[in-house]
Chain A
Amino acid sequence: MDGMTWTVAAPAVGAAFTASVVEVVEAFTIVLAVATLRGWRPAVAGTAAALAVLALLVLGLGPLLGRVPLEALQLVIGVLLLLFGMGWLRKAVLRSAGVLALHDEEAAFAAETEALTEEGRRNPASLDWIAGLGAFKAVLLEGLEVIFIVIAVGAGRGMLGAAALGAAAACAAVLTVGAIVHKPLSKVPENTLKFGVGVMLSSFGVFWTGEGLGIEWPGADLALLVFAAVFLVAGAGLATLLRRPAGEAA
Chain B
Amino acid sequence: MEILKEVVAELVKMFVADARLSVAVLILVGAVALLLDVGHAAPLIGGAVLLGGCLAILAAVTAATARRR
Residues of chain A having any CB pair with chain B under 8 Å: 79-80, 82-84, 86-87, 89-91, 93-94, 97, 99-100, 133, 136-137, 140-141, 144-145, 148, 202, 205-206, 209-210, 213-218, 227, 230-231, 234-235, 238, 241-242, 250
Chain B residue, CB-CB nearest to A233: B55
| Count of interface residues, chain B, beta-carbon cutoff 8 Å | 35
**Do A145 and B59 touch (CB < 8 A)?**
no
**Do A250 and B32 touch (CB < 8 A)?**
no
- Which among A90, A94, A140 has the highest number of chain B CB atoms within 10 Å? A90
| A83 neighbours in B (Cβ, 8 Å) | 15-16, 21-22, 25
Across chains A and B, the number of contacting residue pairs, with CB separation under 8 Å, is 106
Q: List 24 A-B contacts (CB under 8 A).
A: A79-B25, A82-B29, A83-B25, A86-B21, A86-B57, A86-B58, A87-B14, A136-B3, A141-B6, A145-B14, A148-B14, A202-B54, A202-B58, A206-B54, A209-B29, A209-B50, A213-B36, A213-B50, A214-B43, A215-B50, A217-B47, A227-B51, A238-B63, A242-B63
Residues of chain B from 11 to 62 with CB closer than 8 A to chain A in the complex: 11, 14-18, 21-22, 25-26, 29, 32-33, 36, 43-44, 46-47, 50-51, 54-55, 57-59, 61-62
Give B68 Cβ to nearest chain A Cβ, in Å.
Answer: 9
**Do A79 and B43 touch (CB < 8 A)?**
no
| A97 neighbours in B (Cβ, 8 Å) | 66
CA distance A93 to B47 in the complex (A): 24
Question: Interface majority SS on A: helix, strand, loop or mixed?
Answer: helix
Chain B residue, CB-CB nearest to A241: B63
**Do A218 and B44 touch (CB < 8 A)?**
yes
Give A97 Cβ to nearest chain B Cβ, in Å.
Answer: 7
Give A47 Cβ to nearest chain B Cβ, in Å.
Answer: 15
CA distance A171 to B69 in the complex (A): 35
